[in-house]
């Protein structure tokens, strides 16, 4: 089911704490993405990466950080600077232009983050 694994499924953050969400894919996709989903607001892009050791900010990158040390992995850290982190976080991956015409994004099952 999907080839994209997110963990944990549920995560709780204390005030002032950084937490890291894991995303691993075995689809051999070059591009990976992180989205935040809030009720009634759809999905908003946090960060994306199209190659190892390179990533770009999306629309709502403040308070988040990422790394891309391996093609298969794209972890997201929610830092203490993110004042409203409670949301459903979705990771996705795709091929990149030149590897197919559509570059369909496939999603993981998500991590639900709550603040204690």
Partner 1 sequence: GENVEQHPSTLSVQEGDSAVIKCTYSDSASNYFPWYKQELGKRPQLIIDIRSNVGEKKDQRIAVTLNKTAKHFSLHITETQPEDSAVYFCAASKRGPGGSARQLTFGSGTQLTVLP
> Which residues here bind partner 1, judged by CB under 8 A?
2, 30-31, 33, 35, 40-45, 48-50, 56, 58-59, 90, 94, 96-97, 101-110
Side-chain-side CA neighbours of 51 within 13 Å: the count stands at 2
> Which residues are bridge partners to 19 per DSSP?
78
- Please list the alpha-helical segments (H only) found in the chain: none
Nearer to partner 1, 49 or 82 (CB): 49
For the bound state, the minimum distance from the C-beta of residue 102 to partner 1, rounded and expressed in Å, comes to: 6
In the bound state with partner 1, the residue whose beta carbon lies nearer, of 48 and 78, is: 48
List the end-to-end C-alpha distance of the chain, in Å, as a whole number. Answer: 31
Question: Could you identify the residue written with the tokens 């409203």?
Answer: 84
Residue corresponding to tokens 């051999």 = 28
Contact criterion met (CB below 8 Å) for 72 and 82: no
Query: Cis ω on the peptide bond leading into residue 8 (within 30° of 0)?
Result: yes
Smallest distance from the beta carbon of 112 to partner 1, in angstroms?
9
Closer by beta carbon to partner 1, 43 or else 115 = 43
Instruction: Give me the least distance between CB of 81 and partner 1, in Å please.
Output: 22
* Nearest-approach distance from CB 31 to partner 1, in angstroms: 4
Specify the residue, 80 or 106, whose C-beta has the smaller distance to partner 1.
106
């Amino acid at each position: 089911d999907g080839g994209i694994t997110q963990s944990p499924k549920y995560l709780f953050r204390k005030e002032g704490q950084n937490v890291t969400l894991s995303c691993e894919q075995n689809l051999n996709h070059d591009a990976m993405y992180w989205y935040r989903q809030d009720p009634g607001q759809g999905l908003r892009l946090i960060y994306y990466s199209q190659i190892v050791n390179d990533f770009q900010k999306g629309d709502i990158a403040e308070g988040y950080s990422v790394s891309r040390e391996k093609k298969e992995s794209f972890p997201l850290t929610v830092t203490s600077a993110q004042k409203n982190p409670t949301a459903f976080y979705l990771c996705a991956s795709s091929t990149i232009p030149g590897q197919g015409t559509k570059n369909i994004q496939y999603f993981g099952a998500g991590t639900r983050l709550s603040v204690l």
